[in-house]
Structure 1
Amino acid sequence: MQVRQALGYVMGMALAASANAHVSLKSPCVRYTPFCDSCPEIPSGQALDQNINAPIGTHDSISQPLCKFTTPYSRPAVEWTAGTTVDVEFRDHAAVHGGGHCQFALSYDGGKTFVVIHDELRYCFVGGPSSSNTAAQLSYSIPLPADLPSGDKVVFAWAWNNAIGNREFYMNCADVAIKGSGSSFSGPEMLVANYGPDSPFIPEFNGDYETAIDLYNARKTITVSGSGGGIGPVAPGNNTTSPGVYSAVDDSIVPGSPTDVGVNPSGGYSAPGMGSVPGSPEAGSPDAATGADTPLVPDTFDDTGSFGYASGPDGQTVPTSTAPAYNGVTPPSPFYTTPVDSPAAGGYAATSVPAAPPVYHARMAAIPAPAPPPAHTTSKCA
């Protein structure tokens, strides 16, 4: 009994440590943040993101879609004006992995296409060469280009590839409104790296902060417009929404319908040559009947403050928790856990990690626009 209690204590400390690792976007209000009581109400059927600081993928696997969640808030969290400078703040969860490359980008088409408006390459969060996990900077002033188009359903994204530790990709998104006079804006397309085996690979920097700068310099130029159109790669079946309208994935697909392009009957998505992501459990399956998570095999841990991984019964690799050593104690193996995001919470089940970058928008349904909120320029988060 004492051994079991001691094991539970160590495991509890590991989970507590995991909840305080990495960084996350604080302001503007990121989708489903548990730390911002002034944010819009989360959409029906969704849950607060208690793992908001976790990566959405590694070079080996993908755990969540771009932005983490594809269903937006019902209204913008903040309103910005083109040509001004906005302050972006981050929440310190204790590990910045020696800095790395950060991109700040906008999407006018619901998250299909992201155009970069600001880079913090090499030293994001640390300000210079560093081997530290402690942040030296947690806020940035982002100049908004003067020729940005207007849009009240714009997605603001922060993306980060860390310098030290596991090869991970982090991304948070906020729903914003922009007042502008431009008809379109051209800039670099956001680089998505270390996000599944088919994405570009950025290795550990090992002190060389020029690592992967060539990839960022090679980003192609794309053009976005206030009507929501983006010039860039769009997978078949993604053009089923009105431009500039918030949209959400609808799992109730009618097989054979015009919207059933690249869609699994279970609500997943796929694309030729890019693998697939299963959706919610099939009716009649054990998981569907019980609602239980698929059991996982033991995690493996390291002491770098990075993700542990577990495998589902079919061999898929699933990120499960962030588990650094806590006060010098490395969590033991075996250690069991369950995925934070269940299908009901807007995430994916344990066996839903694809072997390639996902293609979203299985079936996109326009969400009726609510009455515009009072104009405000800041998001007050705890």
Structure 2
Amino acid sequence: MTSPLDASGANFPCKGYLSDASGKESVASWSAGSTQTITLEGSAIHNGGSCQLSISEDGGSSWKVIKSFMGNCPASTSGVSMSVTIPSDVKSGDVVFAWTWNNNTGNREMYMNCAIVTIENGGAGLSSYPDMFVAQLSNINSCTVPEGVDVEYPNPGTQVERVEGKLGAPVGDCGSSSGGGGAAPPATTSPPATTAPPATTAPATTPPATTVAPPATTAPSTGACPEGLVRCDSESSWSMCGSGYWQSMGAVPGGMVCRDGAIVAARKRALQSHRRNWNSRAL
């Protein structure tokens, strides 16, 4: 999925794909208690934000958080690997696994990618785990994440990776998100934002990774635009045309400005081509 959920929440969860009559086959088998690697691919990360990994045991009616990444998520434009321990409590059988993202800059939106996986050797269920954090969906609640903030989840659970620097609280009615923490491993603190992103290749003994793609923010547009074209929203912010629509890319890099449809050195006016290849894989 290369776009956010509808602002009203009308297609929450999973952009409505769980209602499809076909295309809902399991894509992986995971043993409860095992460690799995999720790989993010894409190009518009909007200065990071915060992400959660969640599981629904009831076909998408309820969602329980199994790991939270607070701050600098995603950390780079492609090949970011996220490790998670699948709780020993999760029920056996087919469940819906989800990656959700609350971006730092750009339109105030919520993103969600889903995949059906089969759990083996499971337990009694995740009823005691905290609820998925939901924001920016007007028909569900009034919860919002201010722009420029990596949201600090009210109840992130016990598997946590945290990067300080831009963390801040959400605003409004953000739902319960207040269940217990389950029996997941204790929280960990991730490296500072300047640390290189983790390797994209898992060890040979690790089961195949499930891939989900961080979608691009879709800015309002009056019509299709040429693919890869750069638009200067101001000297310090820019957008790029992707899939026929303007995608907000946030702030320009340090020491650069956006002028005449190009990213150039702050003290120079020479035009410079600045195109990106879009590469995402969605369920």
- TM-score bracket for this pair, using the shorter chain length: 0.5 to 0.7
Is the helix fraction higher in 1 or 2? 1
| SS of corresponding position for 2:220 | strand
Structure 2 residue 11 is the aligned partner of structure 1 residue 64: yes
Whether contact under 8 Å (2:67, 2:84) holds in the other structure is: yes
AA paired with 1:123?
N
Whether contact under 8 Å (1:147, 1:180) holds in the other structure is: no
Map residues 1-382 of structure 1 onto 2, 5 A cutoff.
52-58=1-7, 61-62=8-9, 64-68=11-15, 69-70=17-18, 71=20, 73-92=23-42, 94-126=43-75, 134-135=76-77, 138-151=80-93, 153-185=94-126, 186-196=128-138, 198-205=141-148, 209-212=166-169, 219-221=177-179, 306-309=217-220, 326-328=229-231
Q: RMSD of aligned C-alpha atoms?
A: 3.8
In the aligned structure 1, how far is the partner of 2:176 from the partner of 2:38?
Answer: 26
AA paired with 2:169?
A
In the aligned structure 2, how far is the partner of 1:116 from the partner of 1:321?
Answer: 38
Task: With the length of structure 2 as denominator, give the TM-score of the two structures.
Answer: 0.55
Q: Unpaired segments of 5 or more residues in structure 1?
A: 1-51, 127-133, 225-304, 312-319, 332-336, 339-379
Q: Unpaired segments of 5 or more residues in structure 2?
A: 151-164, 183-215, 239-243, 246-280
In the aligned structure 1, how far is the partner of 2:100 from the partner of 2:168?
Answer: 17
In the aligned structure 2, how far is the partner of 1:189 from the partner of 1:102?
Answer: 14
**1:212 shift after superposition:** 2.4
Identity of aligned residues (%): 30
In the aligned structure 1, how far is the partner of 2:47 from the partner of 2:226?
Answer: 18
| SS of corresponding position for 2:60 | coil
Task: With the length of structure 1 as denominator, give the TM-score of the two structures.
Answer: 0.42
| SS of corresponding position for 1:182 | coil
In the aligned structure 2, how far is the partner of 1:73 from the partner of 1:102?
Answer: 25
In the aligned structure 2, how far is the partner of 1:117 from the partner of 1:322?
Answer: 40
User: Deviations 1:72-96 (Å, cap 9, x if unpaired)?
Assistant: 634311100011100101122x110
Is the strand fraction higher in 1 or 2? 2
**1:137 shift after superposition:** 5.9
User: Deviations 1:43-92 (Å, cap 9, x if unpaired)?
Assistant: xxxxxxxxx2211134xx44633101123634311100011100101122
User: Deviations 1:199-245 (Å, cap 9, x if unpaired)?
Assistant: 41111126862222698896221799xxxxxxxxxxxxxxxxxxxxx
Radius of gyration: which is bigger? 1
